[in-house]
Homo-oligomer: A and B are copies of this chain.
Amino acid sequence: MRAPPNAVDAAIAALRAQLGDRVTTSDSERDIHSHDESWHRPHRPDAVAFPASTEEVAQIVRTCAAHGVPVVAYGTGTALEGGAIPEHGGVVVNLRRLDRILRVSADDLDATVEAGVTHQTLNARVRDLGLFFPIDPGADASLGGMAATRASGTNAVRYGTMRENVLGLTVVLADGRIVRTAGRARKSSAGYDLTRLFVGSEGTLGIITEVTVRLAGVPEAIAAAVCSFDSLAGAVDTVIRTIQLGVPVARIELLDDVQMDAVNRYSGLAYPVKDTLFLEFHGSPTSVREDAEQVQQLAAEHGGAAFRWADGHEERRALWAARHDVAYANKALRPGCGLWATDVCVPVSRLAECILETKRDLRESVLLAPLVGHVGDGNFHLAFLVRRDDPREVAEAERLHERLVRRALAMDGTCTGEHGIGTGKMRFLTAEFGEAVDVMRAIKRALDPRGILNPGKVLPPAPTSPGSGLVPPPRPLT
């Protein structure tokens, strides 16, 4: 969809009446909100709005709905598949002013925040209570954006993803109504699981304005270590055995030799340039020791060196900062290149095969693409370093990307473990889900019949052939 210019103008005029100078059509703001951190082509919105409350978000949606103008929610702009790029123009709703931590309960180990609060902000607030929020994508993303993308990160192997850690949401629907998807009970069998439906819906079914999340107690003991391997297969097999034995590692991250080289250069470190695991153990001093010994033994059996421990808070922080800075490290590896970051996830039994085949592709290619992964979940990332102005490089990245995703799907995996569909993975959705995509389309049509919420995302265009009764032909847009 794309709204006609007069409808856009009328919507913006109405928004100005509501929000004053908190709606803007300035070129600079439209540029800032034309892209995320992905490889994908930017597109400017017609306007950017900065609401300060759920009610204001609802007003904006009602106004845009009345004029048939697209509404695109925007958190920190750190997404990696184009999910927040306003492909069809319209109004970008920047949620950064929804920045209040509404409540924290140390007794229930949960917190409710407005959608614009980032995970680092939440963590700074709950640290003194002996608590932390475990989901940590690389960027300091907003909780609303993380919920919308079903994000995860390094701790997911132990603590789960946003799917497991969101207890409930406040959501503005396509008609501007405000709903709450759940109370605060840890479990419920009441009704359809709307929380999980909106988590991962990337702003296409509603705009998330408040998030209630689980918190975890800071473990009594934490130990982090780095372990280099003689072979990639050895590193991956160590991970697979660790998971199969049920060792409750908190983090188990793989960085391949290319990635380690980039990390060393960027962060001024001197790790061996080898396939490497970064590990963290949480628990009591005894259980941490037991867990670490068990994994060290597995590593040794698979060609791993002795653990290099990061003792103390500061050393641990430096270790994980280096891990979280891989995107910057990769950009620095080949200056002037674009970074095309992608991720897939496979059953852990197929992980070695999937990674080794992918590395073989890379060895036979001219392109450089460091590999890093939350391998305990079967999830790994490639970052293609590509000169945008070289069509051969772009074509080669496309070819390798296609092979990577098809390989993961053939192994009963998924085309994205944590980055989302956005526009970048849209064409793989049907390959992954088959006719279940029609169910997704039916839900989209039921909740957003006019298609104003983040149009052009997640769901590939329906085939033109007449469908079954489940999926009526698209309605005309107004």
- Give the distance in Å from the alpha carbon of A289 to the alpha carbon of B107 in the complex: 25
The reply to whether A149 and B189 form a contact with Cβ atoms under 8 Å apart is yes
Using Cβ atoms and an 8 Å threshold, which residues of chain B touch A290? Answer: 284, 286-287
- With both chains docked as a complex, state the minimum distance between the C-beta of A46 and any C-beta of chain B, in angstroms: 23
The reply to whether A197 and B200 form a contact with Cβ atoms under 8 Å apart is no
Using Cβ atoms and an 8 Å threshold, which residues of chain B touch A191? Answer: 200, 421, 429, 432-433, 437, 440, 458-459
The reply to whether A435 and B186 form a contact with Cβ atoms under 8 Å apart is no
- With both chains docked as a complex, state the minimum distance between the C-beta of A423 and any C-beta of chain B, in angstroms: 13
The reply to whether B192 and A443 form a contact with Cβ atoms under 8 Å apart is yes
Q: Which of B196, B417, B420 contacts A187 (CB 8 A)?
A: B417
The answer to whether the Cβ of A379 comes within 8 Å of any Cβ in the partner chain is yes
The answer to whether the Cβ of A226 comes within 8 Å of any Cβ in the partner chain is no
In the complex with contacts A196-B196, A197-B197, A190-B414 CB distance below 8 A: yes
The answer to whether the Cβ of A415 comes within 8 Å of any Cβ in the partner chain is yes
The reply to whether B446 and A445 form a contact with Cβ atoms under 8 Å apart is yes
- With both chains docked as a complex, state the minimum distance between the C-beta of A159 and any C-beta of chain B, in angstroms: 11
The answer to whether the Cβ of A442 comes within 8 Å of any Cβ in the partner chain is yes
- With both chains docked as a complex, state the minimum distance between the C-beta of A446 and any C-beta of chain B, in angstroms: 4
The answer to whether the Cβ of A180 comes within 8 Å of any Cβ in the partner chain is yes
- Contact digits for A443-478, partner B, Cβ 8 Å, 1 yes 0 no: 111110100000000110000000011100000000
Question: Of residues 378 to 433 in A, which have CB atoms within 8 Å of B's CB atoms?
Answer: 378-379, 408-409, 412-421, 425, 428-429, 432-433
- Give the distance in Å from the alpha carbon of A283 to the alpha carbon of B409 in the complex: 34
The answer to whether the Cβ of A71 comes within 8 Å of any Cβ in the partner chain is no
The answer to whether the Cβ of A102 comes within 8 Å of any Cβ in the partner chain is no
Interface residues on A, range: 35 or more
- With both chains docked as a complex, state the minimum distance between the C-beta of A321 and any C-beta of chain B, in angstroms: 24
Q: Which of B150, B184, B468 contacts A189 (CB 8 A)?
A: B150
Q: In terms of DSSP, what is the predominant structure of the interface of chain A? A: loop
The reply to whether B151 and A189 form a contact with Cβ atoms under 8 Å apart is yes
Question: Of residues 301 to 328 in A, which have CB atoms within 8 Å of B's CB atoms?
Answer: none
The reply to whether B201 and A417 form a contact with Cβ atoms under 8 Å apart is no
Q: Which of B105, B163, B185, B217 contacts A414 (CB 8 A)?
A: B185
The reply to whether B419 and A447 form a contact with Cβ atoms under 8 Å apart is no
The answer to whether the Cβ of A175 comes within 8 Å of any Cβ in the partner chain is yes
| Count of this chain's copies in the oligomeric assembly | 2
Q: Which of B184, B349, B435 contacts A179 (CB 8 A)?
A: B435
Question: Of residues 36 to 93 in A, which have CB atoms within 8 Å of B's CB atoms?
Answer: none
- With both chains docked as a complex, state the minimum distance between the C-beta of A319 and any C-beta of chain B, in angstroms: 23
Using Cβ atoms and an 8 Å threshold, which residues of chain B touch A174? Answer: 470
The answer to whether the Cβ of A348 comes within 8 Å of any Cβ in the partner chain is yes
User: In this complex, what residue of B is CB-closest to A294?
Assistant: B284
User: In this complex, what residue of B is CB-closest to A176?
Assistant: B468
The answer to whether the Cβ of A11 comes within 8 Å of any Cβ in the partner chain is no
The answer to whether the Cβ of A434 comes within 8 Å of any Cβ in the partner chain is yes
The reply to whether A189 and B200 form a contact with Cβ atoms under 8 Å apart is yes
In the complex with contacts A189-B149, A286-B290, A440-B192, A413-B347 CB distance below 8 A: no
Of A116-124, A240-248, A255-263, A359-367, which stretch is located at the interface?
Answer: A240-248
In the complex with contacts A194-B439, A196-B197, A201-B192, A348-B186 CB distance below 8 A: yes
Question: Of residues 117 to 150 in A, which have CB atoms within 8 Å of B's CB atoms?
Answer: 149-150
The reply to whether A244 and B109 form a contact with Cβ atoms under 8 Å apart is yes
Provide 10 A-B residue pairs closer than 8 Å at the C-beta atoms, listed in order of the A residue.
A179-B438, A186-B347, A187-B377, A189-B200, A190-B420, A190-B425, A191-B432, A191-B433, A192-B439, A194-B436
Interface residues of A (CB under 8 A from B): 105-110, 149-152, 156, 160-161, 163-164, 173-175, 177-194, 196-197, 199-201, 205, 216-217, 219, 240, 243-246, 283-284, 286-287, 290, 345-349, 377-379, 408-409, 412-421, 425, 428-429, 432-440, 442-447, 449, 458-459, 468-470
**10 tightest A-B contacts by CB?**
A196-B196, A446-B446, A107-B349, A188-B414, A217-B246, A179-B436, A185-B345, A442-B446, A185-B414, A183-B412
In the complex, besides A150-B193, A190-B416, A197-B443, 15 extra interface pairs with C-beta distance below 8 angstroms are A160-B164, A173-B470, A183-B432, A186-B348, A187-B377, A188-B345, A188-B417, A190-B415, A190-B421, A190-B432, A191-B437, A192-B205, A192-B439, A192-B443, A194-B440
